[in-house]
Structure 1
Amino acid sequence: MHIVSRFRFAALLALPLLGAQPLVAQQAAPAAPAAATAPAPQTEPWLYRGSDIPPDPAWTFGTLPNGVRYAVRRNGVPPGQVAIRVRIDAGSLMERDSERGYAHLLEHLAFRGSEHVPDGESKRLWQRLGVTFGSDSNASTTFTQTVYKLDLPAATPQGLDESMKVLAGMMANPTITDAAIAAERPVVLAEQRERLSPQSRISDASRALFFAGQPIADRSPIGTIETLNAANAASVSAFHDRWYRPERTVIVIAGDADPAIFAQLIARHFSAWRGDGPAVPTPDFGDPATDASASAVTVEPAIPPIVSMAIVRPWSIEADTILFNQERMIDQVAIRILNRRLESRARAGGSFITAGANLEDVARSANVTTLTILPVGDDWEAAVRDVRATIADASTTPPTQAEIDREVAEVRSAMENAVATARVEAGALQADAIVGAVDIGETVTAPEGSLAILTGAIEKRFFTPARILASTRKVFEGERRALVNSRTPDATTAARLAAVLDEDVSKLAAARTAAGSVTFADLPKLGTAGKVAARRMVIADPAIEQVDFANGAKLLLFPNESETGKVYVRVRFGGGLRALPADRETPAWAGDLALLPSGIGKLGQEEIDRLTSGRQIGFSFATDDDAFVFGAVTTPADLADQLRLFAAKLATPGWDPNPVARARAVTIAGYPSFESSPDGILARDLEKLLHGGDPRWGLPPREVVEQVDATAFRAFWEPLLATGPIEVQVFGDVTADAAVKAVAASIGALPPRKPAAMTAPAPDFPAHNTTPLTRTHRGQPNQAAAVIAWPTAGGSDAISESRRLDVLAAVFRDRLFDRLRSQEGASYTPNVVSDWPVGMPGGGRLFAVGQIAPDKADAFFTIARKIAADLVARPIDADELRRALLPVAQLMMRMSSGNTFWLQQTGGGTTDPRRLAAVNTLAEDIGKVTAADIQALAQKYLAPGRDWSMLVLPEGER
């Protein structure tokens, strides 16, 4: 079978700006001083001490003499990449009252500058190595840890060595000066300002209630304005010296090279690090209070009435053993059964839109069973009664063995799929798994090990009705807390919440009905398998074939072993946005929420769930520019039935009215939230505004949503499902003959389809405005948002130009980030995006957007226009081109090793062959872009007088 070739990007690899030989090609590790030689691998890996779980043999564990622990392994997914994680066992729960926010502030300072990197240069250093800031290089601070993340693409010996040196300097000697703090403080305060929202206030109130009496109750990692403004070099240095120590550090590396190289580099750069002063013990995180208030109320008009419950129990460190994990699996199966019952009640038109339970350990502070309930309308009391009744029934009457077997089969199927696809699991995910395990005092094992633990539990008959009943009772025992949000103040709400939580609901449980068996024979019958009319290779590298069927359906086929055990399937049909009317509002908005749950023939979503239970069969829906799309990731064994499910949906769609009512309820519930923040206004209005008010984009007015019923929904969607060409994409671990046979028996067996009426015009870009269009929100008075956009183009004629626009956007983004965030501290998340609709003849745009303080609006527009004017006036220098181009090129190279990239590049190619032809120019379009090309694009699209701008201000501001 064909393995995805990287030859196509030889032009990229050959560019002088791409640097030296990849690390994977190196045979010998870089020389290290004798004193820094890595210790021999541990015979008893430190992660597994006290556990009988079999260690994953792919990992090598070690500990340096100074206490730094590490775990390293070889992983070639994606090829050439090295994923590095440096975990410091220090988060917001280690802060004193006067230090709130220091762990997070220190993370910012470490990235800003350190022993080996001048202030502000670390981002540029890694950009020159192909690293995309924010995705490939980032950090996160939680309650219990700070993790620095670096995914180094096409890692060279020199680049990896330099990166490890920089990371070591960041940990041991970050630049902590009053000047650095003064420069970075506005960035952190901007992040804090942008975080504030009704959702964050409810989250804070929930945490204060659920964890009353514990530090986590009021220790948000973002800190407080008072403590951040008081921070200085001395106080932040004291926090650093107390917690940034070798013995509190774990380094994890998974990458495309010999693990011995990684171990030696860790020893080389981290061995000399010494802690400052005696070690300080981790503070006590406390136990949940037993005398705390059991309920609370928030009043957030923008958020629907939503009830959050928690049953909290003390968190204790237990040995991560096989038995411990098997008993946890019993708990998880119990939770899965409960959630399935809750979902069934919601689907049937119950009193709640959605409700679900979860079981988790939270920040080494508590073991918690959480429950979230979103009612239909404002009657949250009825929803709480219904959910409590379902829990009461599950806690008093054992489930059926059939219910248990279904959940166990789904868990087992997922684990078997993990075993089958283990060879292609990304190194970054494996590194993150180690970090997560360290944080909560657990281990990791290979997928085969996890499956063996489950299999052992099954063989011991752990999953019985009696055990599941006992587990259900256990996970709902503990200190109960509940919070309800109300849209309006009401003095009786707290008492009503307490009352409904104490009601006897034992007689309210709905009668259980035995679920009948469903097989694929119950799906509506399809016609005779279709005949192949033509086959031809349409792309040489990668080797993609087009197969035409007699009924007009076409298949793009790419058999390859790049992702073992995975087969990606896309069914593109109809006309997408181009087939929707542009002169009126429609029920198109409800497609994502209601089209799939409406069922197939006489089978509803409940039956379809049972049909696919225990198998790797999915079903997603999306609307593209020029097609509607069904999608799934399946397995070679399930491919035929996956395609049959898609074909049956097209041939005989079901029209259950309940999903339409549910979609309407959830959409209406969300409308007030849009006005609660600048982001909400942008989410509601920006796309429609950028498309000249075209109703195909954005949400319709609320009154339109309220009027949509099942009849109107069916009348709109039924003809769209039945018309237009069908293109199937099957990419992945499957033989060509098996794929063609599966498509012939499913999509190929459908009757010929009528053409789709793709008559809608391309959208108009809004006219240039000298004064920004202004909208207002009802949220935080210190929050605003600004957008400035320039029209570009669209279609497949100029795909090459769209790719170069991505490089222009990267240059623009980097400059805007440096000016608006790093220098001005005006915005934490400024971004620049180029959007080029390949399936539309127009409608493209390049736009900059950022959340800002209201008084920074003029600065945003001034800076953005100055950047645009400078890009028009003069070419960028070689270093800036390298820092913009290399991350784009490296990202493309990494993505090209997976099937999703090729699905995107070739989608729609059977009706528009120009898209297939454009695959041949991928490397050239990016690899040969010059500074002159970037300037020419800026002159073409960023000229003054073409931009459109928008400003979202708090009510009362102008």
Structure 2
Amino acid sequence: MSFFLRAVAAPLAALSLLANAALPAAPAPKRKPAAQPAAPAVTVDTRPWLFERSDIPPDPEWHFGKLSTGLRYAVRKNGVPPGQVAVRVRIDAGSLNERDSEQGYAHLIEHLSFRGSKYVPDGEAKRVWQRFGATFGSDSNAQTTATQTVYKLDLPGATQESLDESLKIFAGMMAEPAITERGLAAERPAVLAEQREAPGPQVRWSDAMRGLFFAHQPLADRSPIGNVKTLMAATPASIKAFHDLWYRPARTVVIISGDIDPDVAAKLVVKNFGGWHGKGADPADPDFGKPDPSAPETATIVEPALPPIVAMATLRPWIARDDTIIFNQKRFIDFLAVRVINRRLETRARAGGSFLQATMSLDDMSRSANGTFTNILPLGDDWHAALKDVRAVIADAMATPPTQGEIEREYAEFDAAMRNDVGTARVEAGAKQADDMVGALDIRETVAGPQTSYDILKQAHDKGMFTPASILESTKRIFTGVTRALVNTRTADGATPAAVAAALKEDVSGLVGARKAQGSVDFSRLPKLGKPGKVDTREHVGDPGIEKIVFKNGVRMLLYANASETGRVYLRVRFGRGYTTLPAKTPTPAWAGDMALVPGGIGKLDQGDLDALTNGRRIGMDLDITDDAFVFNAMTTPGDYADNLLLMAEKLAYPRWDPAPVMRARAAMLAGYPGLDSSPDGILSRDLERRIRHGDVRWGTPAKTEVEALTPQSFRAFWQPILAKGPIEVDVFGDVKPDEAIAAVARTFGALKPRKPDDAPAVPVGFPAHVDKPVVLTHGGPETQAAAVIAWPTAGGAAGHAEMRRLDILASVFADRLFDRLRSVAGASYSPSAQSQWPLGMSTGGRIIALGQVQPDKVDLFFKLSREIAAELVAKPVDTDELRRTVVPTLQFLARASSGNQFWLIQSSGGAYDPARIEAIQTMVDDLASITPATLQATAAKYLRPDKDWTLAVVPRKAGEAPPVAGK
């Protein structure tokens, strides 16, 4: 059983209709009419095939069928989001089905299938689905793993006709993809580009780990991407032979979850896939092997770009077991055992132990092994001390049972998560249900409904299965098997396989010492806030029913009480003024806030106390920094949101300044620095945001010297005044009663003392001057990797919402053309992109930016194509079909997103102080539907000016060349 800890809002349901009315009719696509599939002469067995060997009650929402050809389907009705139908076509074949000479074929077929197939001309599938409102890459995509290939479509505004057409396309892709010389010549470079653009150090680490853990098994050297030798040697004939062997009905499952009658969906599956028959006899499943005790136990690698890492595995043979109730209940025991150890490891890391982080997990890895995996990030370079301390925690757990209190604490987290899944089941997205089904099929398990999963957990608890003895037995068992350990070091410091093997055999018994029990904590231990605040004004400020409340102390609130997402409440607390008033030239420790501010505690309670206080409840607090505010975020429940608000208010009023999280944040940041120089992507993630803002230190990765200078004192000196001054806006959106929500804010933020104003002037954001030649940065990674960036300045501010949306569409058209020319035609980049970034909280800082990772000799091509596209958009209006293929998916996305409360929260947040944000919601449809080829051309002429663009190239560093200084 796969279980996943997991009145309608006025949706923009008519968006696509309005857009269609506003845009001229699209010309019919120029292609040959496709023959309809012949009516299949097949029979269908509608028994729930997924549950044939299980006593778990089948989820009645899923409708199953098995065709006489062997193809299976699972379909269900789901209206989240309204109008969308999620389709998944799963082929039970991945890279482990390849022979040595076929490495990469499964993934290559995925590319070729999307390019063209029986019913779709070359390159047309993307456009067909765009006309249906689907965005390529997010709504339509595919993925190849070691054990499966999955084709995905989230079809918006679905009708029976559009689903029928989509399933016909998929059926053609599965049965007869266009495996031709032309297609191969176009897609092979794209696959090689995908391989080339992968981060080298991480790939080498992953390869080394697979090679050690799964030695003498196919998984050891079967990456889905393949290798250059086999990809270059591939021919249409050899690829087709692999396709014909593994692509067949008996290895295919069609999964549909969406806003459509299940019977209709099932009939469409039969109609479109029923005539497909495999070629030749069905092949036997390949043997994935089992862990080999005679293989090497340890290995080391030297990757300077990665921090020291220790990866351990205890491996057992993977066995396909009947997915029964008792099997799952015993697995719950294993998961609780892992949670107990993980909490102990996190407690040691917080206290300043020898490791920054250490986590354990259980996994059935690609049906090649059932494993217990432990990953350790040492503090500094001392991997040996970190390994020793983690092994000591594990040894202690294997020697002495946990207390019943520890078990109940972890059980409460499980119980709360699964109760929440039950409570929110009616708003679970269809795409998630389809993906969960894919995941279950891959590991040969069932999918139970949330209530059934929760009942199985409760029955185990009621039977007394979660005891110190059972957890101890489980701990011993999950650490029994073939042991493997891999260590990475930055330099060859004596970490040899023999040294690691010796470290694994060291006696660590008794090193942990006495276990520290977490004391009992309740909300009475929190500092006291003032008396509940009084409401000054309350008014309706905009559709879909958003209210604005102002309290006597100046705190403002946006409230959207809506039960469309049963059991979910979204909280957002905006305080201060964010990046707007931070200095542009003087570095600050703002970067450390996310890692150290929230874990610092409240009053006299540290993070461990707060964890105990909120145990078994859906209460959280994440910190973000936006253009014009610092923000606490949480997704909680109707029963928990009031206490969640209390903790957020307490954090502002009574922060605890624990030095340990600050020093942990400092160490974590320093550990990642070498990796930032190892690839173009690393250089861009480190430097681009700062450089594109003309050296503004508020953005980008801080210089290493800035991080090294961080102390608990400097952290507190920066953050303490920020918590104490400036405006506060509290946003409560979701399943709440209006008066109760207002009272909850009155008791918390309304009870705070009036805030000191933050009258500092807004600091404008710059944009670098035009350069005739690109700014050049260098990286220390592979000589085949480079990146190119081109950007044009725009503006910002919510009042310019119509301009913002025109720029969004302009950037989407730009991105689509760049993708077609740079990837589909030239094969020079796997994932070139372009987007408009328009800050709502500032009047400056906006830009259109395009980026591509390419080979060094293709950098100039990127700039050439980008400037050609910009010039074309200025010189000539886009045609009607291209505009529709851009606007309609955008409107469909908004129509789907608007069915959820989080969408309205994101759109309106900040509106208590900036009414233009509320106004922008009301004009969303008109802003987009009013875009015409002429207005888009005028927008391009205004911004895509050749005298304003700024360019940057990241190229391989020459031997002996000094690396650039981070943060400059």
Fold match (TM-score > 0.5): yes
Which digits, 9 at most, give the CA deviation of each residue in 1:372-398, with x for residues without a partner? 111111111111111011001011010
The 5-angstrom pairing of residues 714-733 of structure 1 reads 714-733=716-735
Distance 1:40 1:745 in 2: 59
Q: Are 1:242 and 2:208 matched, yes or no?
A: no
Match of 2:30 in 1: none
Q: Is the 8 A contact 2:22 2:930 kept in 1?
A: no
Q: CA deviation at 1:10?
A: 4.9
SS in 1 for 2:776: strand
Match of 2:256 in 1: 253
SS in 1 for 2:836: strand
Match of 2:913 in 1: 911
The 5-angstrom pairing of residues 505-584 of structure 1 reads 505-539=508-542, 541-584=543-586
Distance 1:121 1:769 in 2: 38
Match of 1:354 in 2: 357
Q: Is the 8 A contact 2:15 2:891 kept in 1?
A: no
- Indicate how the Cα distance of structure 1 residues 856 and 175 shifts in structure 2: closer, same or farther if over 3 A, else same: same
Q: Tell me the amino acid that sits aligned with residue 138 of structure 1.
A: N
Distance 2:568 2:375 in 1: 33
Q: Tell me the amino acid that sits aligned with residue 361 of structure 1.
A: D
The 5-angstrom pairing of residues 611-650 of structure 1 reads 611-650=613-652
Structure 2 residues not aligned, in runs of 5+: 1-6, 26-35, 962-968
Which digits, 9 at most, give the CA deviation of each residue in 1:272-323, with x for residues without a partner? 0011011110110001111011110111111111111111110001100000
Match of 1:699 in 2: 701
Which digits, 9 at most, give the CA deviation of each residue in 1:347-366, with x for residues without a partner? 00111000000000000110
Match of 1:208 in 2: 211
Match of 2:44 in 1: 39
SS in 2 for 1:537: strand
Q: Is the 8 A contact 1:581 1:760 kept in 2?
A: no
- Indicate how the Cα distance of structure 1 residues 689 and 610 shifts in structure 2: closer, same or farther if over 3 A, else same: same
- Residue-pair matches, total: 944
Match of 2:297 in 1: 294
Q: Is the 8 A contact 1:18 1:886 kept in 2?
A: no
SS in 2 for 1:257: coil
Q: CA deviation at 1:15?
A: 2.1
Which digits, 9 at most, give the CA deviation of each residue in 1:387-446, with x for residues without a partner? 011001011010010000010010010000000000000000000111111111100110
Distance 2:944 2:19 in 1: 31
Distance 1:12 1:705 in 2: 52
Q: CA deviation at 1:588?
A: 0.7
Q: Tell me the amino acid that sits aligned with residue 266 of structure 2.
A: A
Q: Tell me the amino acid that sits aligned with residue 879 of structure 2.
A: D
SS in 1 for 2:121: coil
Match of 2:134 in 1: 131
SS in 1 for 2:798: coil
Match of 2:222 in 1: 219
Distance 1:680 1:255 in 2: 39
Q: CA deviation at 1:887?
A: 1.0
Match of 1:3 in 2: 8
Match of 2:309 in 1: 306
Q: Which among 740, 743, 756 is matched to residue 741 of structure 1?
A: 743
Q: Is the 8 A contact 2:8 2:899 kept in 1?
A: no
Match of 1:327 in 2: 330
Q: Is the 8 A contact 2:42 2:69 kept in 1?
A: no
Match of 2:660 in 1: 658
Distance 1:492 1:505 in 2: 19
Q: Is the 8 A contact 1:207 1:216 kept in 2?
A: yes
Q: Are 1:448 and 2:448 matched, yes or no?
A: no
Q: Is the 8 A contact 1:678 1:952 kept in 2?
A: yes
Which digits, 9 at most, give the CA deviation of each residue in 1:659-698, with x for residues without a partner? 0000000000111110000000000000000111011001
Q: Which among 690, 693, 708 is matched to residue 692 of structure 2?
A: 690
Distance 1:18 1:70 in 2: 38
Match of 2:176 in 1: 173
Q: Which among 383, 388, 398 is matched to residue 395 of structure 1?
A: 398
Q: Is the 8 A contact 2:89 2:150 kept in 1?
A: yes
Match of 1:188 in 2: 191
SS in 2 for 1:546: strand
Greater displacement, 659-668 / 698-707: 698-707
Distance 1:143 1:754 in 2: 58
Q: Tell me the amino acid that sits aligned with residue 275 of structure 1.
A: G
SS in 2 for 1:335: helix
Q: Are 1:62 and 2:65 matched, yes or no?
A: yes
Q: Is the 8 A contact 1:724 1:753 kept in 2?
A: yes
Match of 1:28 in 2: none
Q: Which among 458, 463, 468 is matched to residue 460 of structure 1?
A: 463
Q: Is the 8 A contact 1:302 1:674 kept in 2?
A: yes
Which digits, 9 at most, give the CA deviation of each residue in 1:710-732, with x for residues without a partner? 00000000000111111011000
Distance 1:867 1:163 in 2: 31
Q: Which among 355, 361, 366 is matched to residue 363 of structure 1?
A: 366
Q: Which among 929, 932, 945 is matched to residue 930 of structure 1?
A: 932
Q: CA deviation at 1:16?
A: 3.8
Greater displacement, 911-920 / 816-825: 911-920
Q: Is the 8 A contact 1:128 1:883 kept in 2?
A: yes
Q: CA deviation at 1:800?
A: 1.4
Q: CA deviation at 1:707?
A: 1.1
Q: CA deviation at 1:496?
A: 2.3
SS in 1 for 2:88: strand
Q: Which among 469, 486, 491 is matched to residue 488 of structure 1?
A: 491
Q: Tell me the amino acid that sits aligned with residue 822 of structure 1.
A: S
Distance 2:443 2:22 in 1: 42
The 5-angstrom pairing of residues 355-434 of structure 1 reads 355-434=358-437
Distance 2:907 2:249 in 1: 46
Question: Root-mean-square deviation (CA), in Å?
Answer: 1.5
Which digits, 9 at most, give the CA deviation of each residue in 1:258-284, with x for residues without a partner? 001100100111010011011110110
SS in 2 for 1:597: helix
Match of 1:15 in 2: 20
Distance 2:68 2:22 in 1: 39
Q: Is the 8 A contact 2:396 2:512 kept in 1?
A: yes
Structure 1 residues not aligned, in runs of 5+: 21-30
Distance 1:338 1:502 in 2: 20
Distance 1:608 1:880 in 2: 53
Distance 1:807 1:721 in 2: 38
SS in 1 for 2:861: helix
Q: CA deviation at 1:158?
A: 2.0
Distance 1:434 1:835 in 2: 36
Q: CA deviation at 1:18?
A: 8.8
Q: Which among 827, 838, 841 is matched to residue 825 of structure 1?
A: 827
Q: CA deviation at 1:9?
A: 4.3
- Indicate how the Cα distance of structure 1 residues 8 and 798 shifts in structure 2: closer, same or farther if over 3 A, else same: farther
Q: Tell me the amino acid that sits aligned with residue 353 of structure 1.
A: L
Q: Is the 8 A contact 2:299 2:486 kept in 1?
A: yes
Distance 1:942 1:753 in 2: 44
Q: CA deviation at 1:12?
A: 4.6
Q: Which among 948, 951, 960 is matched to residue 949 of structure 1?
A: 951
Distance 1:613 1:569 in 2: 19
Q: Is the 8 A contact 2:91 2:252 kept in 1?
A: yes
Match of 2:965 in 1: none
